């Protein structure tokens, strides 16, 4: 491996942790301007810090395009190792605080149940290993409630499907997983015995959707789906929770588009059918406030990243 943890740790006398944090911010945003806004610094110093980091390593970490920059092959390796180093720093900080009696506390996490049913338990298990004294309070909220609670500092982090955030706002999204989408139908639906369906077939059925109020992320994604299929679904029911959507589909009111994790909650109550060719993916990740994060929030962010691998 060209860049590894041992190499990174040996280089720390020359580079600073902020170089790694700046690099990770640019890698997540794929745009220097957006990353600078999220870090609350101006663009020229950030660009200079990234160039200094590349000069120090002797490699190019980014391929720079007109609007979006991409990680090079070496940059992708460095990103993984940088995350590991920052995770170790955060773990050490939390351990020291725990030994000094400062490690106890509460972390407030908002989450969307259906898409996070597999990811969140793994992340919680990893987080408990590094911060056993910090209590995690989970809050099942709609997307808009999570964003409002983050802005009001009522929660510390939200795990959810990518919402439409204002450019240059106080909240930033980081992608963890791209989730495939299938059609969810009642077990006695005519499609239930099919091995696959098309997107056009899916949208031609009576459709169950989340209500618009509270679920801006879902409707932002659904607009993309409708634009691709060029078919506007006929809404048979609008629901305000995953459990309500399962009940509506199970009772035969209509069908729904959802990721496979949806069926983890529903079990045998409904049938999941792959959509071929694939429908637009659902982007699962987390949202935090811009600016420096506490060690506990940093540790939970890294636990989510590791759990998503």
Q: What share of the chain is helix, strand, coil (3-state, %, to 5)?
A: 50, 20, 30
Among 11-15, 38-42, 95-99, which range has the highest average pLDDT?
38-42
Q: How far is CA 284 from the centre of its chain?
A: 4
**Residue 287 confidence (pLDDT):** 96
Report how far residue 227's alpha carbon sits from residue 144's, in angstroms, rounded to the nearest whole number.
23
Q: How far is CA 265 from CA 16, 62, 164, 268, 271, in A?
A: 44, 40, 26, 9, 12
Q: Is the pTM of this model over 0.75?
A: no
Segment 198-214 shows an average pLDDT of 94
Percent of the chain with pLDDT over 70: 90
**Residue 106 confidence (pLDDT):** 86
Asked if omega into 277 is within 30° of 0 (cis), the reply is: yes
Report how far residue 99's alpha carbon sits from residue 91's, in angstroms, rounded to the nearest whole number.
12
Q: Among 296, 283, 202, which residue's Cα sits nearest to residue 249?
A: 202
Residue 100 has pLDDT above 70, yes or no: no
Segment 79-102 shows an average pLDDT of 70
**Residue 247 confidence (pLDDT):** 95
CA atoms 149, 303, 79, 111: torsion sign = negative
**Residue 67 confidence (pLDDT):** 65
Backbone angles phi, psi at 159, to 5 degrees: -105, 115
Q: Which residue did the predictor score with more confidence, 165 or 2?
A: 165
Among 104-108, 196-200, 214-218, which range has the highest average pLDDT?
196-200
CATH code 1.10.10.10 region(s) in the chain = 1-102
Residue 165 has pLDDT above 60, yes or no: yes
Report how far residue 259's alpha carbon sits from residue 278's, in angstroms, rounded to the nearest whole number.
12
CATH code 3.40.190.10 region(s) in the chain = 104-176+283-309, 181-280
Backbone angles phi, psi at 118, to 5 degrees: -100, -40
Q: Among 118, 123, 149, 145, which residue's Cα sits nearest to residue 136?
A: 123
Report pLDDT digits (tens) over 255-268: 999 999 988 888 88
Residue 14 has pLDDT above 60, yes or no: no
Segment 201-206 shows an average pLDDT of 96
- Contact assessment for residue 114 and residue 258, using Cβ atoms and an 8 Å cutoff: yes
Neighbours of 169 (CB within 10 A): 13
Strand 157-161, strand 105-111: pairing: parallel
The architecture CATH gives domain 181-280: 3-Layer(aba) Sandwich (3.40)
- Contact assessment for residue 150 and residue 293, using Cβ atoms and an 8 Å cutoff: no
Topology, domain 1-102: Arc Repressor Mutant, subunit A (1.10.10)
- Contact assessment for residue 60 and residue 72, using Cβ atoms and an 8 Å cutoff: yes
**Residue 149 confidence (pLDDT):** 95
Q: Among 30, 2, 19, 5, which residue's Cα sits nearest to residue 55?
A: 19
**Residue 1 confidence (pLDDT):** 40
Residue 37 has pLDDT above 90, yes or no: no
Topology, domain 104-176+283-309: D-Maltodextrin-Binding Protein; domain 2 (3.40.190)
Q: How far is CA 97 from the centre of its chain?
A: 28
Report pLDDT digits (tens) over 269-285: 999 999 999 999 999 99
Neighbours of 106 (CB within 10 A): 10
Segment 11-15 shows an average pLDDT of 49
Q: Among 283, 285, 263, which residue's Cα sits nearest to residue 146?
A: 285
Report pLDDT digits (tens) over 41-74: 888 888 888 988 888 888 999 988 766 788 999 9
| Six token digits for residue 245 | 């959507």
To which H or E segment does residue 285 belong?
A: strand 282-289
């Amino acid at each position: 491996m060209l860049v590894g943890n041992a190499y990174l740790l040996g280089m720390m006398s020359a580079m600073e942790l902020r170089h790694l944090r700046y690099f990770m911010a640019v890698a997540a945003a794929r745009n220097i301007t957006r990353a600078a806004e999220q870090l609350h610094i101006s663009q020229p110093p950030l660009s200079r810090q990234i160039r200094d980091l590349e000069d120090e390593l002797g490699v190019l970490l980014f391929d720079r395009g007109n609007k979006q920059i991409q990680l090079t092959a070496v940059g992708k390796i460095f990103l993984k190792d940088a995350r590991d180093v920052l995770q170790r720093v955060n773990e050490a900080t939390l351990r020291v605080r725990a030994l000094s009696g400062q490690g106890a506390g509460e972390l407030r996490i908002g989450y969307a149940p259906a898409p996070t049913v597999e990811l969140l338990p793994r992340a919680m298990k990893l987080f408990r290993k590094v911060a056993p004294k910090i209590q995690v309070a989970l809050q099942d909220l709609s997307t808009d409630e999570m964003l409002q609670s983050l802005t009001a500092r009522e929660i510390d982090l939200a795990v959810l499907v990518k919402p439409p955030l204002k450019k240059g706002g106080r909240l930033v999204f980081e992608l963890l997983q791209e989730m495939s989408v299938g059609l969810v139908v009642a077990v006695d639906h005519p499609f239930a015995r099919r091995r696959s369906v098309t997107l056009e077939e899916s949208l031609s059925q009576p459709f169950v959707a989340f209500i618009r109020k509270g679920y801006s992320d879902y409707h932002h994604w659904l607009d993309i789906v409708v634009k691709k299929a060029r078919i506007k679904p006929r809404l048979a029911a609008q629901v305000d929770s995953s459990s309500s959507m399962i009940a509506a589909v199970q009772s035969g009111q209509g069908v729904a588009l959802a990721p496979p994790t949806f069926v983890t909650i529903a079990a045998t109550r409904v049938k999941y059918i792959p959509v071929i060719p694939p429908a637009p993916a659902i982007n699962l990740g987390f949202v935090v406030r811009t600016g420096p994060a506490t060690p506990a929030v940093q540790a939970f962010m890294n636990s989510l990243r590791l759990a998503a691998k």
